[in-house]
Structure 1
């Protein structure tokens, strides 16, 4: 009874070691791929942290997986920013100018989230140039909000900062897209 178990262990041990090495190499190549892609980003640290933010995602597989992660993370931040804008809009003490700019931002972020949804559909269809078009449109919307809130009031300062981060995340999608399209 002990002999068959030992034989199995002797056979399985090298196989398990080989599997563990393969998994470690894949994880390492995923990290290397992220770092390689993010070297072309203006905000490398944000690029690396956002692409690593989804555990067990498709990020270590290939550029398509990285772009999908980048879109998902940017979309989540855009949706969260849209929610914070709408929460601020419920403040009845806002100056009319601030209120109008935030209402415009709300519309722009709603558009940006929809454009990111469209970019996912384009990515899944391997239409990389369409992804670029949708992401550039989302950048335009988020940038308009960023500019509109830049010098308004302390209440809109958070929206300015968040918009700046969303624009950077959207630009990181374009970094991945450029590499994917050139592949």
Structure 2
């Protein structure tokens, strides 16, 4: 009887050790930032953006990184909107360009709203919606660019940055979605 109890104790200890070793180690902070950014086209910019929040970045999980990237993209969109508003009233610009700027202003307002919707979807773990809203924000900036002739104006330069920021947000939310799906699948199979 005593030997059976010892064998059972050893088996329980082995099971505990094995289950702890099998549990995935969740990346956080700088390690997670490097992991996520390695999958992006603009790795250096991605690392810079995701490391930019002194409070969240050092111990960030995927949702934190998505929030950081969305906030930076929203700030960029606000800058584009401010520039568009300022340029609309420039009498030196042709009426066609002023109309294009007015159209751009409206689509940037849409993009800002879509980034807010993305954040709301992220906070309630609606991962599919995060991708939909981010893609809508990218479409809005494309519409803005198409409404203004040329590609060397300040708005075009900032819109390139906006696209890169949205792509960083897409990468972080996609990783977050994958992690969420894996978590749900693990819960249902347990």
**TM-score band (shorter)?**
0.7 to 0.9
4+ residue stretches of structure 1 with deviation over 2 A? 57-61, 146-150
CA distance in 1, matches of 2:146, 2:52: 27
Contact 1:112 1:138 in 2 (8 A): yes
The alignment's TM-score, normalised by the length of structure 1, stands at 0.78
- Corresponding residue number in structure 2 for 1:168: 164
Deviation sequence 1:72-126 (CA, Å, 0-9, x none): 1100110111111111111122111211111111001000001111111111100
- Corresponding residue number in structure 1 for 2:41: 42
Q: Could you tell me which of 166, 174, 183 is aligned with 1:178?
A: 174
Question: What residue ranges of structure 2 are gaps of 5+ in the alignment?
Answer: 1-26, 180-190
Between the two proteins, the alignment pairs up a number of residues equal to 153
CA distance in 2, matches of 1:164, 1:132: 19
- Corresponding residue number in structure 2 for 1:136: 135
CA distance in 2, matches of 1:51, 1:145: 26
CA distance in 1, matches of 2:57, 2:64: 5
Q: CA deviation at 1:150?
A: 5.7
SS at match of 1:182: helix
CA RMSD of superposed structures (Å): 1.7
- Corresponding residue number in structure 1 for 2:110: 111
SS at match of 1:41: coil
The alignment's TM-score, normalised by the length of structure 2, stands at 0.75
Q: Could you tell me which of 141, 145, 159 is aligned with 2:155?
A: 159
Going from structure 1 to structure 2, the CA distance change for 1:29 and 1:58 (only over 3 Å counts) comes to closer
Going from structure 1 to structure 2, the CA distance change for 1:130 and 1:34 (only over 3 Å counts) comes to same
CA distance in 2, matches of 1:98, 1:60: 46
Going from structure 1 to structure 2, the CA distance change for 1:30 and 1:150 (only over 3 Å counts) comes to farther
Question: What residue ranges of structure 1 are gaps of 5+ in the alignment?
Answer: 1-27
Contact 2:28 2:61 in 1 (8 A): no
For 1:91-110, what aligned pairs fall within 5 Å after superposition? 91-110=90-109
